[in-house]
Amino acid sequence: TVAEGYLAVGDRVAVEDLGVRRRQLRPGTGRRQLDRVVQQLAMVAPEGDPPRRVRPPRLPAGSLVYVFSTFLDPEAADMARAWRRSGQAVIAVDVMPRVRTGRLDARHWLAYRLVTLERRDRLDELVAAGVELVHWADVAQTTERLQLAARRAHRRPGTQR
């Protein structure tokens, strides 16, 4: 949906799957690029632990970067912070669904709490680094927040945010 919106107004869109190294979709425009994006996303599947990246994939200057992740592990957050440090506008989209915890026993509740605290710290660090954070599960505000973040990202450097 995000790619479709940008392609509809003539922007270039690329896809980089941080889970594997070989699936990069180069920047492009138009209907055929949308078909490629959909195909790329349909092929996304877990493949074990990918090799650790030394540096984030290179991006053209002035790119608006969306990072879709559950942020359960640090790699997506590390890449988002690195892109932000390099001057890119970055929007982190937290796609973690609401978790049902009603039937957890004490041991599983403790494990859930530990993972939740690590994840919350990771998200707080992103915000502190200047990354815009959007929670996908918050349907009422997601579209509005994405549009506002995209408008902010397209302002000239040095203007008020």
The per-residue pLDDT for range 118-148, each reduced to its tens digit, is 999 999 999 999 999 998 877 666 666 666 7
Q: Is the pLDDT of residue 66 over 90?
A: yes
Question: Which tokens belong to 72?
Answer: 């359960």
User: What one-letter code names the amino acid at 66?
Assistant: Y
What angle is formed at CA 90 by the lines to CA 125 and CA 122, rounded to 5 degrees?
A: 20
Question: Which tokens belong to 5?
Answer: 């919106």
User: What one-letter code names the amino acid at 77?
Assistant: A
Asked if residues 82 and 56 have their Cβ atoms less than 8 Å apart, the reply is: yes
**Range ranked top by mean pLDDT from 18-27, 92-101, 143-152:** 92-101
Q: Residue 6 CB: number of other CB atoms within 10 A?
A: 18
pLDDT of residue 53: 72
With H, G, I as helix, E, B as strand and everything else as coil, classify residue 110. helix
The CA-to-CA distance between both ends of the chain, in Å, stands at 25
